[in-house]
Chain A
Amino acid sequence: MSGPDQHLDWASLVDYWAGDLAPDDELTHDEHLFGCEACSTLSARVAVLTETLRDLIPPLITPERLAKLAARGLTILENPMQPGDRREVVFPKHVDILLHRLGGLDLANATHVSFVMRVESTNEVLSTVLEAPFDRAAGTVLVACQQHFAAFPPDTVAEVHVHAADGGEKLSRYTILHCFEPPT
């Protein structure tokens, strides 16, 4: 937007909802949105996406986040796995979170952990997390699989890369063949 009478475009509204505008620009956007119905409508179309994404439960969670989700009353089913495991896991329809507890990791000297979820049959990458949360003492990474992940292919390989201070990297793979119970 270069003048007070010009409409805001999609790109600048995405920056606005991402919180990536300078304070003066954000104030200008705020003020314009109150006086322009067309821009307010477009802004709502951006916001419905950004705010839904912001409210999602992330695919990788900390033990503290897991405890909070349980405290909220979500039904959580545990699926402990070890490196090299390959098995089918049923995700019952009454369960909110299927928790893949990826264990057997030596995290004592880890500087950071990165995570990739692939499709086993095609090798397509579904999700990448460059700095995954991990439980150093327990040697685990927690994957919070959710019912709406049924949109993705069910045959998945979780790859956990443990990075050490000396530059070394160790890869552990867990093959999870999801079976989502169909709704009745």
Chain B
Amino acid sequence: MNDMSDAELVECIAEAGPRREAAEAALCRRFAPRIRLYGIKHLRDEDLTRDLTQTVLVAVLEAARQRRIDDPQHFDRFVFGTCRNTVARMRQQATRLPLATDEKLAALVAVPPLTVELNGLFACIAKLEERSSLVLMMSFLEERSAAEIATKLSLETGNVRVIRHRALGALRRCLDAGEGTSH
């Protein structure tokens, strides 16, 4: 199932045959991490992101079962559109969305949280140049834009962006190499 295209999986679901359940699971595994990333980016909240992931998957699977997806070749765009609309609805409502009580689905959407072991991360930050770690902290801890940081540090905005992505690249390589061991 994992080798099948989105459109093939959508067709399997619509056929309501013996492969439906496996096709639904494959689509969930494929799209749950992408919906989750979208939620983290636009909602900045773990609980709301979990709600979003489950709500969107329920909606797109129901649409697939009922053959309501006009262009299965571009199923990803259908998921994206559903995601955008759901986030807009969540922002309008003060309360969390009611969730479907499908235990199988809940298990499929359980994507591990985005975390890094902090001791390792700090050991890697300690290896960065002072200006690089300052730009990272101003970018993410203080939520400052590249333009703001550029003004504070008397740099060009483009230069701040380069420092920032190189610093994160260095952190990524340091963590991947297991160099983030504290002393």
Contacts and interface: CB of A to CB of B under 8 A. Distances in A.
Contact of A148 (B74, B79, B114, B118): B118
A150 B119 contact: yes
Interface residues of A, number: 42
Contacts of A35: 74, 76-77, 80
Contacts of B171: 49
Nearest to B153: A130
B119 A151 contact: yes
A44 B118 CA distance: 17
Contacts of B162: 11
Contacts of A111: none
* Most central of B123, B126, B145 by chain A CB within 10 Å: B126
A40 B165 contact: no
A33 B34 contact: yes
Contact of A18 (B38, B79, B139): B139
B94 interface: no
Interface residues of B, number: 49
Interface in B1-56: 30-31, 33-34, 37-38, 40-41
Contacts of A17: 41
A54 B161 contact: no
Given A19-B145, A51-B114, A150-B119, A34 B77 contact: yes
The interface residues of chain B, by DSSP majority, are classed as helix
Contact of B164 (A18, A34, A48): A18
Contact of B168 (A46, A56, A125, A151): A46
B133 to A, nearest CB: 7
Contacts, number: 120
Contact of A10 (B37, B41, B169): B169
B95 interface: no
A109 interface: no
Contacts of B84: 30
A40 B119 contact: no
B91 interface: no
A128 interface: yes
A31 B77 contact: yes
B145 to A, nearest CB: 6
A135 to B, nearest CB: 19
Contact of A48 (B74, B114, B126, B169): B114
A91 to B, nearest CB: 13
A58 interface: yes
Nearest to B166: A11
A163 B75 CA distance: 58
Contacts of A147: 119
B34 A40 contact: yes
28 contacts: A11-B165, A14-B165, A15-B146, A15-B161, A20-B161, A34-B34, A34-B38, A34-B76, A40-B33, A46-B168, A47-B37, A48-B114, A49-B171, A49-B172, A52-B114, A52-B115, A53-B139, A54-B140, A58-B142, A128-B130, A129-B137, A148-B121, A148-B122, A150-B122, A150-B182, A151-B122, A151-B182, A152-B122
Given A35-B76, A151-B126, 11 more contacts: A10-B169, A15-B161, A18-B139, A34-B77, A46-B172, A49-B168, A52-B115, A148-B122, A151-B183, A152-B122, A152-B126
